[in-house]
Every structure is written in structure tokens, then in C-alpha cells.
Chain A
Amino acid sequence: MVDFSNDTFWTYLVKAVLILVFLLTSVLLAIWFERKVVARMQVRPGPNVHGPFGLLQSLADAMKLLLKEDITVKAADKFVYLIAPMIAVFCSLLTFAVIPLGPQVRIPFTDITTPAQLTDFPVAVLYILACASVGVYGIILGGWASGSTYPLLGAVRSTAQVISYELAMGLSLVSVFIVVGSMSTGEIVAGQTDYWLILPLFPAFLIYVISMIGETNRLPFDLPEAEGELVSGYMTEYSSMKFAWFFLAEYINMINVSAVATTLFLGGWRAPWPISSINDGMFNEGWWPIAWFLVKMWMFMFLFVWVRGTVLRLRYDQFMRFGWKVLIPFALGWIVCVSIIRGLREFHDVNLQTVGVVIFAVAIVVIVVLRFIPEKAPAGAAGAAGAAGSDEAFDAFAAGYPVPPLPGQKLPPSPRAERRARAAIGAGAPGTPSSTDTSTTGKDDDE
């Protein structure tokens, strides 16, 4: 465990305030970052008017939200309507209490050394999950209390989404617990001294990354606030500061899941490999690790923005099917594999190399077997193939609209092609167009 024995009330207070300030400024930066990066991906400049590189844009937006009129809709359930955004923000602020930002650091101008982490306890990662699951109450209550249809639909979607993706997320975290043997964030980082857990647990990392995007309601999983379908989902009826709180909670949650991913899979504050061996681990001590942590965390933030700029929103049934029928079974299977390997190493004297060779062999066999299983053709394609077998000509206008041929079908020769060919022969007789063509190309080549 991380050593908190030097900590007094004052160090705790200072750390808590610092974390709060860090989160709020990070949100301002994250909004600017997201808008700027998405803008560059869409080949436009993005915010560039207020401050250098438009850095003060999100500050201006925050001030605008603060000063806007605060509307409480008539149909709202006043009390719940008011506390819903508070729940969302407070729960999102709790997560960073157990994130290790760095190892023991010496507070400047004093002799006090203290871990760069507010607190740690044996069930810290479960605590993170608990905070996330209580935070959903903000969304669902906000949707219900607005007394309106679209927010309610958004809230219901969000509940279903978060419950199902939290399952997958929890299962992917279980393999980390099995390998490290602890749920304390400090020990998980300590357990990654030799290698980061992303290497042995890459499938779990993948599941975590997918479900963290689902958990934070970000594109392509932003169905609770799908603009095209639900106006803006659970926060449709919110305005001014209450809306800003939901906004804040969403961005803090993004930072939270990025920080958790960094801590559990990317070695937390540990320096990346070639740097970590410089000068006997100089960069793994003091204040340096906080920089590594921030770099890794912002890599995940970039991933969020990248995904948002690339992938389209899923349809709701596809999304739920993906969560329940792909992610969760896959995560369960992965846990069984990890447990078996871990059990073999724990209770039998099995060499790690033997285990690796066996896994490799099994993987090869599975891949070879999968090669020989014929791919199931969809019914429509099979029908089309059958139709193509007959010599019946494909009629593109059979249904009234021109449709392209399916695989296997062939368009009848175009009447225009025949005409064009005839015209070409007719025009080709004087020989002028072809000769000019060759002459121009020849000239181009010379130049």
C-alpha cells in the first residue's frame, strides 16, 4: 500500500483543493482541446478568436452559461430537477480521490513527503465504479424531473446503456484484479513495475476502452443525447448553470475514465520504457511522474476526440446487441482464460514459457479451424447468387427505381456504350482526334 503515514489534515485539504482545481481547469482545457482537434480533423480552424489559439473560448462560454437566464420548466418536479445536475457533478468529482498521480513527492519549501494521491484503500477501483454508478442517477433523475418526453427517453436509454456497459467494464477490470491480486490503485501501479498491464491483458484493455466510451455517453455511443433523435436527451430542458453542470460532469467523467485507464493498463505514473531506464530510474521519482501521467491521460482524451470525429452514432438496438452479445461474453471468456492461467501458475509449478507456448499453439489451432469453417452467407446473398445462376437478364428497373446489381448479377450491356463505340468508329475515320491526343501526351512527356 501507499504510505500515507505522514499525512495530516492539512495535507489532505491541500491535495483535495488541488485536485478540484486540476479537474476544473482540465475541463476548460478539454473543451478547447476537443473543439480544436475536431476542427482540425474537419479541415477548419476551430476556436481562434479569444485569447492565444482561442484558449479563452471555453472560459467565455462558461461565463455566458453562468449569466444566462435560468429557466425551470413548469412541468418539472422542482426538487429533483434541481438536485439532478448536482448529483452528476459531485459524483464525477469523487473519482480522482483514489487516482495515483505520482509516487512520493516532497512538497516544495517543506520537508514533508507525501504521495501524490489523496487516498487509497483496498477497494479503491470498486469505489470508482460505485461513484460512476451513482452519477448515473443525475442523468436519469434529470431526464425524469424535466416532465418532458425526450428527456425521459434519453434518461431511460442512458440507464440501460450505463448498466450494460458497466458490466463489461467491471468484467474487464476483474482480470486486472486477478493478475495484480489487489483492488487498490496504488498497488495496481506498483504491480506494473516490470511491464504495463496493457501487454498481457490487451483484450481486457480493448473492452475497457470500448465500454468507457459507452459509459461516458460519448460518440459513437451518445444515444442518451442523440441530437438527431432526442433534441439533446436528458438535458433538453436544462439551461444556464444547471446545464453547465451536466456539461461539466460529462467532461470530468471523460477525464476520470481516461485516468482510470491510464492507472490500470498503462502503468499509471510510470515513465514509458526507454525513458524509465535512463539514469537508474531518475524519471520515475519526484515530480516527473505527474507529467507522464498527464501525457497518458491526454492520449486517452485525444482518443475520445478522434473517435468522435471518425465514427458515426450507432442505432440503439445494434448498440445494445453489441454490449450484451459481444462485449460481455467476450469479457467473461477472457476472465476464464486469465483465471486458468493464473491458477496454473499459482497452484502448479508451471513455467511461464510453457504457458505462453501452449497459448500460442491453441491460438494457432483455433485460427486454422476457423479458416476451414465456411463463412455463413446471408440469405439475401444466397438468393441473389441463385438468381444469377439463371440466365435471366437483370432488370435494374424492376422495382420502379434503378438499383445496382447484387454480387453475381450482371447488368445488360448499356445501349449507350454501343452508340458510343459506333460514334468512335465514325469519328476515328478522319484520324484527327486520336492524332492530336497522342501529340499532346507526347509533349507532356517531353516536358
Chain B
Amino acid sequence: MVSGGEAVLFWCVAPLMVLAALGLVFARKAVHATLCVVFVMICLAVLYVAQEAPFLGIVQVVVYTGAVMMLFLFVIMLVGVDASDSLVETIKGQRLAGWLFGLGLGAVLVGVITRVAFPEGVGLAAANAETNPVGLARILFSDFVFDLEVVGILLVTAALAALTLTHKARLTPRVGQKEMADARVLGGKSLVPLPAPGVYAQRNAMDVPALDPHGQPIEASVSRVLRVRGQERGAPLENELPILTELKQSTQTPTGPVRPAVERLVEPQAEPPVEPLVEPQAPLPAQEQSPRTTEEER
């Protein structure tokens, strides 16, 4: 009955599937459990295809692995199910009703399945005579078209129910891009991004305010966090400037690395003594090369 290749495939895939199924039960993290389910589903699809049911196998991957499990993963990643759920009944008698309905369904299924008499099988060759999907379509859309419609209606109802349950009425008007832009104009604040720190000053350090065209420091250019903490440094004073230009010239002489000397020289003069918190490690940071260049290369 079973060819050699199929047997080998089965005995390779089946133990892996069992392992993955055990992983579902024993995995600590919800995402790992989900991954195990995905693996079992794909192996199942492989077995379906090996048993000459390619349509079932592929649809299994497209629908269950590709869409349903993906949504599961989506929710698990977003919500995180590590927190234990509350076991308090919110609807009275819900658990009892659940048990009753479950048992009833079980009884119906057992009753139907034990009484059913299957017709004699026609064999794969006859069933897949016009390729597997066509054969399947002929059965589904002729003998079982009513059942198919019923299942479709059930699914649509469930989707509608989910939409209705999660829908909430909007209490406040929607704030879109336009409304936010209008509010910004009416608020009278700056319409453009704030100036970057130090751009018009002599340095580009984070804690030195930028200078406007009149040479006045722009407070808003330094991060609010630094200002609140009192870690902001003053703009360079007029009398420092000649020193700075002098130093700049000395760095350009090709006598080797003078940068540490510059830092040592600039440090005590450029820094007003009012900021005890600051521990500037690189007062002249020349961060020209970002460590990640791959994006630019694309």
C-alpha cells in the first residue's frame, strides 16, 4: 500500500511532529508554543501532499499557517499572554452551560459517526482523474454545496460578531493630520521643527544652545530633559572665541594627534562653573560616521 519513499518520509516527519506537539504543551513562552504549532501544521501539509492530496496540503499552509496562526502570533506578540487570565465567571452559569453544550455536541457527533455507512472507496486514481483540485471542486460544489454555504454563513456571522463586539462609539471627534496641523497653527507655537542644538554655535554638542542670526542663544534648541536637569551649558562667550580659533588652527598642523590637548585646554574655559552635574566625556564630539551604514548603501 505505502511506497518506500512515503514510509521513509512518514518516519522522518512523524517523530518531529510529535516532538513539536509536546513542545506546544511544555513550552514556557507563548511564542515558542505558537512556533511548535506552525511546525506541526507544515509537517501535516507535507504528509497531505505525500498522500496525493496536494490541494488540502497547500490550503492548510495558506489558510491555517499563513493566516490563522499568523493572527494568533500577532495577538500574542502585541498583548502578551504571560499574565495569567482571571478565572472568575463573568456570565452566571456560563461554565455549566459550556459543559452541557460540549457534551451534547459530543453525543451528536458520536451518534452520527457510529451510524454512518461509508460507500465503497473509488481509489485515488479515479478521484484525482481530472487533477486533485477539480475533483474536489466537483464534490464540494455539487453534493455538498448546501453545507458549504452554511459554513460560509457561520463564518461571516462570526466575523460580524467580532466586529460588533469590538466596535466602540466615538465620543470625541477624530483628530487627524489636518486637525493637528490646524491646532498647531492656532497654538501659535513654532510650525517648523525646533532648531538643532549647537548648529549656529561654535560646537555641535547636545547641551549647547544654537545661536540665532543675531547671535543670541535659542533656549528651545537644547533638549527639554537637559534643561530641566540643569545640564545645559551656556553658549560660548565672546572672549572664548579667539582661543577657539587659535586651537582650531593648532589642530590643523600636521604634527600628530593634538585632539586630547584641545579637550584639556577647552574644558575649563568653555564650561561655566555653575553645572556640577555635567561630566562631559567628549566636548568636541565629531560623530561623523554612524556605525550603521547599510541603510545608506541601499
Contacts and interface: CB of A to CB of B under 8 A. Distances in A.
Contacts of A243: 294
A11 interface: no
Contacts of A155: 77
Given A122-B55, A126-B62, A137-B38, A163 B177 contact: no
Interface in A141-164: 141, 144, 152, 155-156, 159-160, 163
Contact of B185 (A35, A77, A401): A401
Contacts of A160: 74
A122 B77 contact: no
Interface stretch (B65-73, B208-216, B267-275): B65-73
Contacts of B70: 133, 136-137, 140, 159, 163
Contact of A227 (B42, B77, B188, B295): B295
Contacts, number: 87
B177 A232 contact: no
A130 interface: yes
Contacts of A140: 70, 73-74, 77
B170 to A, nearest CB: 15
Nearest to B61: A130
A132 B35 CA distance: 17
Interface in A56-87: 61, 65, 77, 80
Contacts of B298: 35
B61 A133 contact: yes
A312 B62 CA distance: 31
B296 to A, nearest CB: 10
A144 B74 contact: no
A400 interface: yes
Size bin of chain A's contact surface? 35 or more
A134 interface: yes
A160 B70 CA distance: 9
Given A61-B297, A152-B77, A243-B294, A133 B65 contact: yes
Contacts of B32: 80
A436 to B, nearest CB: 38
Nearest to A131: B61
Chain B, interface SS category: helix
Contacts of B132: 122-123
Given A77-B29, A183-B133, A130 B62 contact: yes
A166 B78 CA distance: 21
Nearest to B67: A163
Interface in A115-133: 121-123, 126-127, 129-130, 132-133
B54 A156 contact: no
Interface in A346-391: none
Interface in B98-139: 131-134
Contacts of B45: 130
A159 B70 CA distance: 7
A49 interface: no
Interface in B225-252: none
B233 to A, nearest CB: 29
A155 B132 CA distance: 36
Nearest to B59: A126
A227 B54 CA distance: 41
Contacts of A401: 185, 191
Interface of B: 29, 31-32, 35, 38, 42, 45, 54-55, 58-59, 61-62, 65-67, 70-71, 73-74, 77-78, 131-134, 177, 185-186, 188, 191, 294-295, 297-298
Given A122-B55, A137-B70, A163-B67, 19 more contacts: A122-B133, A123-B55, A123-B58, A123-B132, A126-B58, A126-B59, A127-B58, A133-B61, A133-B65, A134-B42, A136-B66, A140-B73, A140-B77, A144-B31, A155-B77, A232-B295, A243-B294, A399-B185, A400-B185
Interface of A: 35, 61, 65, 77, 80, 121-123, 126-127, 129-130, 132-134, 136-137, 140-141, 144, 152, 155-156, 159-160, 163, 166, 182-184, 227, 232, 243, 315, 399-401, 403
15 contacts: A77-B29, A80-B32, A129-B62, A130-B62, A133-B66, A133-B67, A134-B61, A140-B73, A144-B31, A152-B77, A156-B77, A156-B78, A166-B66, A399-B185, A400-B186
